[in-house]
Structure 1
Amino acid sequence: MRAIDWFQSDQGGLGYISLIDQTLLPDALTTLQIRTVDELIECIQRLAVRGAPALGVAGAMGVALAAQNGNTVTARADALRLRVSRPTAVNLAWGVDQALEALERGTQAVLTVALSIRDQDVIGSHAMAKRGYELLADLLPEKMASGLNLLTICNTGALAAVERGTALGVIEEVFLRGNLKNVFACETRPLFQGARLTAWELSNMGAPHQTIVDSAANFLMAQGRVDAVLVGADRITANGDTANKIGTFSLALGAQFAGIPFIVVAPETTIDCETATGDLIDIEDRGTEEVVVINGKVMSPAGTTSVNPAFDVTPARLISAIVTDQRAIRPALNELPSDEVANEMTATFRF
C-alpha cells in the first residue's frame, strides 16, 4: 500500500487522492479518500500526510483536485492556499508550482504532471537507497562488514513518500543486504513520529531496532554505540544548511563530537537554491497543545505555554554528506548543493 496515490472514481469520472492517515498509526491502518483541496489542506496541517517527498506529491495532486472541481481561476486560488499550508517544507510548494504550469492546458495535463511526480518519487527513493548504501560502504567499510548500528529521527520511510522513502529507505537497503546490526529510532517529540511510525515500518520489514528518548541519542553516540546518523530534510538551502525535524541539529552536534558520519538523505527537489542560508528559512511553530497534551492528558499546569518549532536548521559544516536521487554532496568539504552557482556562493557564504 502506498502512503499516497491517485485513483479514478467511477462516479462522474472524478479522481481522488488516497492517503494513509498517519495520525492513527500504529493502532490502525486507515486510508482516506480526499476529494477537495480543503480536505487535503486539513490533512496536511494535522499531519495525516507528511514527509517532504509525500508533500510534493500531495501538492501536485491537490492542483489536480482543484482543476477538476473548478475552473482555472478557482483552481489557481485553491492551489495557492494549498501551497502555503505548511511553510517550511519546500517540496509542497514545488509540487504545486509544477502542476500549476500545466493548468491552462486542462485537468488532464495537470494530472499527467502529478502522476509523473508520483512515479519519479518512487524511482528517486530507490536511487537514494542505493546511493546511500554505497556511501556508507565507502565511509565505513569495516563496520559495514560486521553490521552497522544506525540512528535516525522522525520518520523518513515509505510513509514519508510514495514508497520506500529517504533516510529510512537507505536503512532498509542496509538491512536487505545483510549489513544492519541495529537501528536506534528517536521517539521524536512532541508527536512521536519515530516511536509510532518509524518503529512501525521497521517492525514490518523485520529489521532490528530500538526506540530511544530523544535526549538519549547524544549519549549513545558518545559511548560509541552508533556508527552513523541518517536523517531526512524538508529544505536544503543553497549553501547546504538543512531544515529537518526539531532535534536534528542536536544529533549533528553529537555526531561531530563522536566523530561519526552525519548524512542527510532527500530528493533533489528538496534543494532550494533560491534560499541562500538556513537563517532565511521560515520555521513553523505548531503551538502549545502538541507539547503539553499527550494522548488527551494535559501534562502541564493550566496556563503553561510552549515554544514548539516543528523544525530546526543544521549548518552545512556539520553535514558529512547530502544524498539525493542524483548525487552525493559533501557540504563539510565545501561542496555546494548547486554546482551551477558554486563560484558566486563560495565568495559570499560562510562555511
Structure 2
Amino acid sequence: MKARNTAPDIICPISWEGDHLLMLDQRLLPWKERWLKLRTARDVHRAIKEMVIRGAPAIGIAAAFGLVLAARGAVRRPRRFLETLEKAASLLATARPTAVNLFWTLSRMMNLARSLWPGEPQEIFARLEEEAQAIWSEDVAANRRMGHLGAQLIADGSTVLTHCNAGALATGGYGTALGVIRAAVESGKKIQVLADETRPYLQGARLTAWELARVGIPVTVINDSAAGYLIAKGQVSAIVVGADRIAANGDVANKIGTYTLAVLASRHGIPFYVAAPRSTVDLKTPEGQRIPIEQRAPEEVHFCGRQRMTPSGVEALAVAFDVTPAELITAIITEVGVLRPPYGPALEAALRED
C-alpha cells in the first residue's frame, strides 16, 4: 500500500512507497535535497543512527516503518515471522537512546504483532503497515492541535527564540515547537524567529532556517553564544523548544544547549515553553537525571562538514542532549492541553485523555 502524508505541508521527512521507505537525507540540507531508498529494518536503523533522520517523533515514525519492512521480508519465512520482528525491534531500539518516541513506537507495533500471532503473516504485515501509517497521521494531527494551543501563548509582534530543529523535519510533517510558531503565523500574527545555530550539528542553521524560509516565516540565525546577549537586551519575547523525552516530574531532555536557554529565560523573566506530543512523555522515568544521555562521536565536534576545526591530537566531547529541570519550564504544550506546574499530576492526567 503506497502512502504519503496527506497533510497540506510542503515539507515531510519520509514517504512510504509500499515496498520501501523514502527518507529525506537531512545531513545534506540545505544544500541538496536527496531522498534515500530504504528496504530493510537495518537500513532504517542505520539512517536513524547516522542522523539521516532526527527528531524524536520522526525517529519513532521511521522505526514503525522499519518494522513494516521487517514484516514484509519475514512473510517469506512464516515460521520465523515473529522472531524476525523481535530481532528487528531490538536492533532499531539501539539506534538512539534518548528519544523515547522510538521505544514507544516499537512497543506499540510489537504489541500489535504479538496480539495477532500466530496468524497469517501477510495479514499481520498489512495490519502493521496500517498501524505505522496511523502513528504517522496521529503525529501530524497532534502537532496541529499543539500548534493551535501553543499559538495562543504567543503574542502578536513577538520575537521567538528556538533551539535545534523541532519542525516538520523532526516530526511527521508539521512540527512541535515550529508548529506553534507556524500556527501563530497562520492565525494572522506577525512573528519574528531567532534560530540558534545549534552546534555541533547545526540543526538550527541548516534545518530550522530552511524550513521557515520555505513557509515564508521571517527567521534570523544567531550563533548559540549570542542568545544571552539578545535576551538581556529585551530582544526575545519567548523561547519555544521541542523535547526528546519528558520525565514523570516534568524534567525535559532536549538538544544540548536547551538547559542554558532555560536558565537565561528564568533570569530575565521571559516564558520558556516546551512543545511535545504525549508520546514523548515517559512516566517510567521519574526524573530527568535518570534519562540516558546520548554521547556521539567526537568527530561531530572536530569537524564542520568536511573541514576539521580542531588541532590534531586534542580531544572532543560530543554530548547530544541536556536536561532542563521542570521548575524552569513555564508550560508544556501537548495535543490535549497546555500543562502547568505541578507537572507530575498534569502529565499523568494528560496521558489519561482520550
- Fold match by TM threshold 0.5: yes
Establish whether residue 127 from structure 1 lines up as the match of residue 145 from structure 2: yes
Q: Measure the CA separation in 1 of the matches of 2:72 and 2:344.
A: 46
> Is the 8 Å Cα contact of residues 321 and 332 (structure 1) preserved in structure 2?
no
Equivalent in the alignment of 1:112 = 130
Establish whether residue 327 from structure 1 lines up as the match of residue 307 from structure 2: no
Query: 1:339/1:176 Cα in 2 relative to 1: closer, same or farther (>3 Å)?
Result: closer
RMSD of the TM alignment (CA)?
1.7
Q: Measure the CA separation in 1 of the matches of 2:181 and 2:329.
A: 18
Equivalent of residue 35 in structure 2, options 28, 31, 36: 31
Q: Deviations over 1:134-193 (max 9, x none)?
A: 233xxxxxxx24x11000001111111111110001111122223233110000000100
TM-superposed deviation, 1:338 = 1.5
Query: 1:215-294 residue pairs with structure 2 within 5 A?
Result: 215-294=225-304
TM-superposed deviation, 1:340 = 8.4
Q: Measure the CA separation in 2 of the matches of 1:321 and 1:5.
A: 33
Q: Measure the CA separation in 2 of the matches of 1:81 and 1:331.
A: 37
Secondary structure at 1:338 match in 2: helix
Equivalent in the alignment of 1:313 = 323
Q: Measure the CA separation in 1 of the matches of 2:271 and 2:198.
A: 20
Query: 1:169/1:277 Cα in 2 relative to 1: closer, same or farther (>3 Å)?
Result: same
Secondary structure at 1:96 match in 2: helix
Q: Deviations over 1:67-104 (max 9, x none)?
A: 11122111211111101210000001111111111224
Secondary structure at 1:233 match in 2: coil
Task: Name segments (4+ residues, structure 1) moved above 4 Å.
Answer: 332-335
Q: Measure the CA separation in 1 of the matches of 2:304 and 2:49.
A: 18
Establish whether residue 338 from structure 1 lines up as the match of residue 353 from structure 2: no
Q: Measure the CA separation in 2 of the matches of 1:224 and 1:338.
A: 36
Q: Measure the CA separation in 2 of the matches of 1:133 and 1:94.
A: 27
Q: What TM-score results when the alignment is normalised by the length of structure 2?
A: 0.89
Unaligned runs of 5+ in 1: 9-14, 137-143, 343-351
> Is the 8 Å Cα contact of residues 240 and 277 (structure 1) preserved in structure 2?
yes
TM-superposed deviation, 1:331 = 3.0
> Is the 8 Å Cα contact of residues 248 and 344 (structure 2) preserved in structure 1?
no
TM-superposed deviation, 1:339 = 3.2
Unaligned runs of 5+ in 2: 1-10, 75-80, 117-123
Establish whether residue 80 from structure 1 lines up as the match of residue 84 from structure 2: no
Equivalent of residue 181 in structure 1, options 191, 200, 205: 191
Secondary structure at 1:135 match in 2: coil
Equivalent in the alignment of 2:308 = 298
Fraction of identical pairs, as percent: 43
Q: What TM-score results when the alignment is normalised by the length of structure 1?
A: 0.90
